[in-house]
Amino acid sequence: MPATTTTFGTPAYGADGAIAAPHYLASWAGANVLRDGGSAVDAALAANFVLAVVWPHMCGPGGDLFAQVWSPADGRLLALNASGRAGAKMTAESYRARGLAGMPQRGPLSVTVPGAVDGWFTLHARWGRLEWSRLVRDAVQVARDGFRLTPFTVAAIGSSADLLARNGGGAAVFLPNGRPPVAGERLVEPDLARTFETLAADGPRALYSGPLGEQVLAFLHRQGSDLAAADFAAHSAEWVEPLRLTYRGVEVCQVPPNSQGIVLLDILGMLDGFDLAAHDTAERIHHLVERKKLAFADRDALVADPASGEVDASRMLDPAWARQQVASIQARRAQPAAGAVPATGDTIYLCAADRDGLVVSLIQSLYAAFGSGVHVPGTGITLHNRGFGFTLADGHPNRLAPGKRPLHTLMPGMALQAGQPWLAFGTRGADGQPQTGLQLLTGLLDLELELQAAQEAPRWVHGAPGERFPREALVLESRLGPAVATELEARGHQVLVTDALDPVMGTAQLIQVDRERGCYIAATDPRGDGIALAF
């Protein structure tokens, strides 16, 4: 039985449906869709649409999407890659000709084709039950009538005020009084409401080959982007085979590259034969962080769009490679880490399940807070900055090239037991995503924590997303205690202690399928604005 630990939140239990999302209005929308007879996919989509309104810095029609879905009708797990590609004129040479030494993190040149919209419709075409007008209803209402802002969203708007003011129409929407709002103030987004109504009526072609897309492209061109109508028209989501690795008797599944999901599997493979539960907290963290560094070095060298044919990342799942990697770890001394500069991680993750056994793990993002910062006036669409996932370095497998997908931080998780769904899991947090997933899984499987305890347990992150902490810092939530921090410092880690609950650690959502009790158990992260609902 899982270990009993004091917790402060309460998981939700239900047999007919469950949803966990990082904002309460999104969870409420998804639960109502389930009650109206919608599928778990319908619920996930409705929740995603509401999140585009209430967490506008995180997600929306201008972003990308990945999902894993357990389909009881098919008796198998399917994965969807709905990330967008670089345009036909987006080359490393053309960017260098503009005087750029590396990929820009913000602005129009960081924008690739947004893939989420086609992902939404692809998922619905396979598993949707309700009409699109019903699925967008709550998002349209919340956007048009407005909603009350939480401190989380207020902080994101405030820190992005300069970006919003210089890249289009964002300041008019999010700084309507010429200043950042405060918690409890109402935010309205009528243009986004109209965009959702347009998508519901006209389908994905509205963005990829219709007037909405023309409006987006015309504004991008005025901003200096080379993305073209043909680039939008060529986009389509792609069904892919999940990658799998068995850990402690559980089959952990991730979307393959260009997603970084393989990083989590790489770390888990390096834990084979290592008894985490037999070590104290500081020693566990040390060994996990050292494996994280090795896996991220693999990622930065090997993970890219497999369609480019430039690299094979499969060695990251090879047990012999894992053993070779682990041999370099020093038990009492931290090693330096190499790798790319950590990106910000403004993303939404949610999961849903229904009475028929359909389980959805979905992640959708603008990448950084407000993405590229390019907010297209009249549409409510903020465009992502996924182009920052490319490099301009010659010979690198992730080098910018036409029609190519960038290295992606998004990684919705699913785990199976005995060939059946056991856990849907994921989080926001860019480079923190595999680290949070690692801590959730090892908490459940190695430390035998109950679901809510694993969710609430104090976390750490190395190379935290964003700019709050130094790149090499190992950031600990204060609940881990001073003795743990002191021991890790003695091993050579650059330790910084943050709040007891810090959103930099991600906002994870979990749904566990408990076959013994015949129910779903859903848990939301106290580091976000969410609730978990089940019935």
pTM of the model: 0.96
Q: What is the pLDDT of residue 220?
A: 97
Least confident of 170-179, 284-293, 333-342: 333-342
pLDDT by residue (tens digit) across 49-86? 999 999 999 999 999 999 999 999 999 999 999 999 99
Residues in a beta bridge with 168: 375
pLDDT by residue (tens digit) across 232-271? 999 999 999 999 999 999 999 999 999 999 999 999 999 9
H or E element that contains 66: strand 64-71
- For the annotated catalytic residues, the residue numbers are 347
pLDDT by residue (tens digit) across 396-410? 999 999 999 999 999
Q: Say if residue 6's pLDDT is above 80.
A: no
Q: What is the pLDDT of residue 188?
A: 98
Mean pLDDT over 314-323 rounds to 94
pLDDT by residue (tens digit) across 422-457? 999 999 999 999 999 999 999 999 999 999 999 999
| Cβ 13 vs Cβ 534: under 8 Å | yes
Compute the distance between CA of residue 317 and CA of residue 296 in angstroms, rounded to an integer. 13
Calculate what percentage of the chain has a pLDDT beyond 90: 92
Q: Mind listing the domains of the chain with CATH numbers?
A: 240-344+411-534 (3.60.20.40)
Q: Say if residue 309's pLDDT is above 80.
A: no
Q: What is the pLDDT of residue 1?
A: 47
CA nearest to 300, candidates 270, 264, 340, 266: 340
Compute the distance between CA of residue 401 and CA of residue 394 in angstroms, rounded to an integer. 11
Calculate what percentage of the chain has a pLDDT beyond 70: 98
Runs of H (alpha helix) within 307-390: 319-326
pLDDT by residue (tens digit) across 456-491? 999 999 999 988 899 999 999 999 999 999 999 999
Angle (CA) 450-452-457 rounded to 5° is: 90
CA nearest to 347, candidates 428, 461, 465: 428
Q: Say if residue 529's pLDDT is above 50.
A: yes
